Amino acid sequence: MCEANAYLVADGEETLVMKSVDYVTPEGDGLKLVNIFGEQKFLRAEIQSLSLVDHKVFLKSLEG
């Protein structure tokens, strides 16, 4: 399996926002995340970095 977990990074802290992410798609002023179960989330965020070996997507909030 090659899914990743998505984390929101703020002040050096990582907060898990979704497990088993299959798709990250730019949509409007943010990102749509879809996991392997079909669950969806929209975040006003941008990709900060990817750790492909660790299967992690790090996101930076665009909120204030």
Per-residue pLDDT tens digits of the chain, which is 64 residues long: 678 999 999 998 999 999 999 999 999 999 999 999 999 999 999 999 999 999 999 999 998 6
Q: What's the pTM?
A: 0.91
**pLDDT the model gives residue 3:** 86
What are the beta bridge partners of residue 22? Answer: none
In angstroms, rounded to a whole number, what is the distance separating the alpha carbons of residues 49 and 30?
Answer: 15
Tokens for 56, please give them.
């992690």
Pairing outcome for strands 56-61 and 40-43? unpaired
- The total of structural domains in the chain comes to 1
In angstroms, rounded to a whole number, what is the distance separating the alpha carbons of residues 35 and 11?
Answer: 26
Provide the residue range defining the domain that includes 31.
4-61
